[in-house]
Structure 1
Amino acid sequence: MKISARNQISGTIAAIHPGAVNGTVKVDIGGGVIVTASITEEAIADLALVEGDAVTVLIKASDVLIGK
Structure 2
Amino acid sequence: MKISARNTLTGKIKSIDEGSVNNEVVIELAPGVEITSVVTKRSCEQLGLTVGGEAYAVIKASNVMVAVD
TM-score grouping bracket, smaller chain normalisation? over 0.9
Matched, 1:55 2:55: yes
Structure 2: unaligned runs, 5 residues or longer: none
For 2:40, the equivalent position in structure 1 comes to: 40
For 2:5, the equivalent position in structure 1 comes to: 5
Normalised by the size of structure 1, how large is the TM-score? 0.92
Distance 1:34 1:2 in 2: 23
1:4-61 deviations in whole A, cap 9, x for unaligned?
1110111000000011111100000003111000000000010111000011111001
Any idea what SS the aligned residue of 2:45 has?
helix
Q: Which runs of 4+ in 1 moved over 2 A?
A: none
Distance 1:11 1:5 in 2: 17
Normalised by the size of structure 2, how large is the TM-score? 0.91
Structure 1: unaligned runs, 5 residues or longer: none
Matching of residues 20-35 of structure 1 within 5 Å: 20-35=20-35
